[in-house]
Amino acid sequence: MPIRLTLRFRIISLIALFAIILIAAFTALLINRQLQVITDNNQTRARIGSFSVKGRFELALLSTARSGNTTDVFQKLIPIVQEGKLVEDMIVADLKGKIVAAGLSNLKGTTLQDKDLEGVEYARKTYNPKSWSYVRVEPSEVRFYIPITLDDVPQYVTILRYSLGNMQDAIRQVSKLCILVAVVVITAVSLLCFLLTRSILGPIQILNEATQNIAAGNLTQQVEVTTDDELGELAETFNNMGQSLVAMRARAENANPLTKLPGNNMIHEAIEKRIKEKKKFVAVYSDLDNFKAFNDKYGIGAGDQAIKLTAQIMKEAMRKGAPGDFLGHEGGDDFIILTTPEKGDAVTEHICTEFDKRVRQFYSAEDKAQGFIMSKDREGNVKQFPIMTISLAGVGNVVRELTSYAEVTNICAEVKKKAKMTSKTTGKSSFYLDKRTGSGDHGAETQADPHGHPAEVQPIPVEAHPVESPSAPTQDSPTSAAPADKPQSSPLHPPAEPPAQATH
């Protein structure tokens, strides 16, 4: 099973790695700096020591030149010079390379190594009173070859040795500081890890738990992340998503199972929302004429297909509407559209035209040819029923105030009767729009407008283009068009001069 690297582990690992690199880099810089300091100190000590040694040993040589005990004096001087720590180690040799005095007594009487012999010879040959030392630098130490002269003539050569920079000394000198820095960095990193895991992983863990709750069905789950950053934005988006899921579930639970369109609850909310926000709208209710007879003859499956066609046509009509328009399915063959007054004509005309054109596909060739079907009515009597049409009843708040969903549905029930009457008479789908201006009894078909003239539930047939059948009814309704001696009114706005008499 692969190892699961959690986000917490990765954050802590990366911060720890950064801390280690930081401590290592700081320690290396500190040691390197200390080595440089040690080297500089040793070089300074070597310069001072070389002057001291040359002066003391030449003075000793001068004072013992006649007595002949020069080498003994040299041997006694070496510990004295080393006590002042100006010299780490020194050797005194004659010009032939024989060691006559040394800091280590066991070297006395031995011969110098080849490199030191070369250095002694070079120092003797290149001696100059103004530049009297020869320096040879090696990786770990520096050696000074200093001629000891008498009357400016080299008699002996003193070899002084100094370490350039001892790593152990450097580490020992900076160890306390390095430990202190490491403690400070580790403390700071630990605090940083705590703050990061709390400020980043805390909200992520909250969101993860909330997501699991939503997956378990608790769509009302909300989170509270107060950080003013991307995590706060993510939490706000999460809360908005939860609210959207609640709304989607409500729509899904209320949706019509056949058409998947919003059902009664959503229709109710959509109408009440427009009324509350005082938006101008037109509610268009639909009803299929002769649907029961069709359903009885062709079966429930064919009836469902006719309802699906109606839903499809209405969806297409919504494209001719305004942004924010609403389409719902109350059940059976009853649909409702909420659109703006300006788009009502285009929407309803498309529905009437397309329905009359496309509904005939569900009829047999014989029934289409004769323009009707034979079926039983509600009393069980066999009679003729024309090809299905759709009746649209419109209710708007352009010329009257609407106060509730119930009021809208009650008015539509009245207007739908007029629309169905016209569809029955003309054999075509029709649209009626209520233009009464009063707010009194909705059962009355006439009310007085502000000018004292009676208004009416006016028939506003849309110019549909049905596929005519030879035996389809063709007579026109007396109320299917405006009277010849009166101007035609706009379907969604009241006429300039309302009719003087109500039409029933």
pLDDT in tens, 427-477: 899 999 998 876 554 443 433 233 233 334 444 443 333 333 333 433 333
**Mean pLDDT, rounded, for 243-253:** 72
Q: What is the pLDDT of residue 453?
A: 31
Backbone angles phi, psi at 276, to 5 degrees: -65, -40
**Mean pLDDT, rounded, for 358-384:** 91
For residue 131, the 8-state DSSP code is B
**Mean pLDDT, rounded, for 321-345:** 94
Q: What is the pLDDT of residue 451?
A: 29
Backbone angles phi, psi at 343, to 5 degrees: -105, 0
259-459: which CATH architecture?
Answer: 2-Layer Sandwich (3.30)
**Mean pLDDT, rounded, for 195-205:** 77
Least confident window among 15-19, 187-191, 402-406, 448-452: 448-452
Q: Which of 158, 113, 114 is nearest to 132 (CA)?
A: 158
Alpha helices in 65-154 (DSSP H): 70-83, 114-125
pLDDT of 304 > 90? The answer is: yes
How much is the pTM?
A: 0.49
7-165: which CATH architecture?
Answer: 2-Layer Sandwich (3.30)
Per-residue pLDDT tens digits for 114-173: 889 999 999 888 888 887 888 888 777 788 899 999 888 999 999 988 776 655 666 777
Query: Which of helix, strand or coil describes residue 388?
Result: coil
Alpha helices in 221-290 (DSSP H): 230-254, 264-276
**Mean pLDDT, rounded, for 249-268:** 83
- Asked, colleague to colleague, whether 7-165 and 259-459 share their fold, the answer is no
Retrieve residue 356's tokens.
């009359």
Compute how many other C-beta atoms are within 10 angstroms of the C-beta atom of residue 276.
8
pLDDT of 76 > 60? The answer is: yes
User: pLDDT band at residue 2, thresholds of 50, 70 and 90?
Assistant: low
For residue 224, the 8-state DSSP code is -
Domain boundaries, the chain: 7-165, 169-244, 259-459
**Mean pLDDT, rounded, for 222-227:** 76
Greatest distance between any 2 Cα atoms in the chain: 163
In terms of phi and psi (left: phi > 0; alpha: psi -120 to 50; beta: otherwise), the region of 452 is: left
pLDDT of 220 > 90? The answer is: no
d(CA 68, CA 52): 23
Percent of the chain with pLDDT over 90: 34
d(CA 301, CA 67): 141
**Mean pLDDT, rounded, for 217-233:** 76
**Mean pLDDT, rounded, for 297-313:** 95
